[in-house]
Amino acid sequence: MSTSDDVSRTSSSLWTTVSGEVAHPDSPRGGGGPGRFARLGPLGTNPQSAGLPHPQSPSGHHMLAADAERIVGAAPTKPMVRGGVVLNITINTPKVSTFRIGGPTLADAKRALDQRDEWGLYDATQNFRSTADVDGTGKVVSVTMEINPVISLPAWSGYRSATKDQQASWDAMYHALQAHENRHHQIQLDCVETLKQELAVAKTLDADTLNRLIEKLQTSAQEKQDAYDRSSGHGAAEGVVLKLDA
């Protein structure tokens, strides 16, 4: 994990739509905490093609200090033909971005974490691109999606000067949080596979039908993400806690 004191700001064009906040027990405001799932957006309806609307607001979260670390993902998907429609849908391996958490002690670090809306973030809306081509009759003939998830995790500036026990406490929380956000990504992967299957069996596929299928995916994905957070206590039951007695 990154423990560097040096951070640099990064910016990117966000293709964002509706996002879902999840509450966490370690957040003093009852919302945010370690994790958030951001939903994908529907395709637009254009006689020539269907595509996402122009970028909307980035849902209030600012990313800090992107690093080169990567975690679970899927290999780029080769184009396939399903039901006469060419599908080119790719979910890239998530990039990991870190944000600095200050304070010389674990208690200070926890207070800094609790001041944030979330301890960690899984965001599938960053640089999300989606297009669909239609023929002269309005039938969708190809669908292209590229999803570039970002997982945002904390880096404690006091880590190097902490005791081994304090470092072990931080590491245990960090790795549990990383695994929690990875699971959110796996749920996203599963839901996109479901979308591929539904596109393959659709009897007719015009822009409206495609939008309805994607909206259905959004709803189903959010329900599954919420169910996972409920069952895991938003990560707390999986070890996303910071033990201060180290």
Q: How many domains does the chain have?
A: 1
Positions of the chain with pLDDT under 50: 1-76
Instruction: Supply the pLDDT for residue 40.
Output: 40
Q: Please report whether residue 51 resides in a domain.
A: yes
Residue type present at position 170: W
Helix H or strand E encompassing 212 = helix 207-232
In this structure, are residues 41 and 15 in contact, taking their beta carbons and an 8 Å threshold?
A: yes
Write down the pLDDT at residue 41: 41
Report the pLDDT value the prediction gives residue 112, as an integer from 0 to 100.
Answer: 97
**Which of 174, 171, 67 has the alpha carbon at shortest distance from 120?**
174
Q: Which residues pair with residue 153 across a beta bridge?
A: 98
Closest by Cα among 154, 65, 35 to 101: 154
How far, in Å, CA of 244 to CA of 192, rounded?
39
pLDDT given at position 83? 67
Q: Can you tell me which residue has the tokens 């879902």?
A: 20
| Cα dihedral: 111, 113, 115, 121 (round 10) | -170
Considering the entire predicted model, what is its pTM?
Answer: 0.69
Record the tokens describing residue 199, joined without a space.
């596109």
Q: Tell whether 211 is covered by a domain.
A: yes
Question: Which pLDDT score is estimated for 3?
Answer: 33
**Could you give the CA distance from residue 239 to residue 96 in angstroms, rounded to a whole number?**
20
Question: Is residue 6 included in any domain, yes or no?
Answer: no
Q: CB-based burial of residue 193 (10 Å sphere; 0-12 exposed, 13-18 middle, 19+ buried)?
A: middle
Q: With contact defined as beta carbons under 8 Å apart, do 40 and 128 qualify?
A: yes
In a domain, 100, yes or no: yes
Whole-angstrom Cα distance, residue 222 to residue 199?
Answer: 19
Reading the block at residue 129, the tokens are 């691109």
Would residue 1 count as lying in a domain? no
Asked whether residue 66 is assigned to any structural domain, the reply reads yes
* Distances, alpha carbon 157 to alpha carbons 40, 99, 174, in Å: 33, 10, 14
Q: Is residue 228 part of a domain?
A: yes
Burial 218-235 (b: 16+ CB within 10 A, else e): beebbebbeebbeebebb
Domain that holds residue 209: 26-238
Is the residue at 107 inside a domain? yes
